[in-house]
Amino acid sequence: MFQIISLVVIALLTAIDQFTKYLIVSSVKVNGPMELIPNVLRFRYVENTGAAFSSFSDNTLVLTVITVIIIVICLLLLWGRKINSKFAEVCLMIIVSGGVGNIIDRIAFGYVVDFIEPMFVDFAVFNFADCCITVGAFMLIGYEIYDLFKSRKQKEKSE
């Protein structure tokens, strides 16, 4: 049952990513950038052949292989019930969905469609899948740090 629930969550978040990219390709790619909040946020169509912040540009095959390996490891951890925390499981589901969303683009087009552009700061253009990966990873890191301190405190109390 857990595998089905995790697949549904991953599929739902991946579908949101793909749907937002479809909307951007069918509107912003055709009509040009769309400013949502003046001088704060706009949608701008970008074809990213690299990874975060366009690093490793034109290395689609390498990035695809690395992403697939990370997705497989996360799924094995999830479905092998190696994680003892529901929160950490949710974090992995969010990370996997972002990876799958970007893998679909890399395989289908040879690049990832990015479109969210913060205008108030010099920052990379990104997409919903990137948000999932980043939020999931930060949540997981935060949880692991919290758990580390909690375990250390419990160990000190028992001594």
Mean pLDDT by 10 residues, the chain (159 residues): 90 98 95 94 92 67 89 91 88 96 94 95 93 96 92 78
Q: Clarify whether 122 is annotated catalytic.
A: no
Q: Which of 58, 105, 122, 130 is catalytic?
A: 130
In terms of Cβ atoms closer than 10 Å to its own Cβ (0-12, 13-18, 19+), residue 22 is: exposed
114 is catalytic: yes
Question: pTM for this one?
Answer: 0.88
- From the candidates 17, 105, 114, 147, give the one annotated as an active-site residue: 114
CA distance linking residue 12 with residue 43, whole number of Å: 22
pLDDT score for 127: 96
Please report which residue ranges of 32-127 form alpha helices under DSSP H: 60-79, 86-109
pLDDT of residue 113: 96
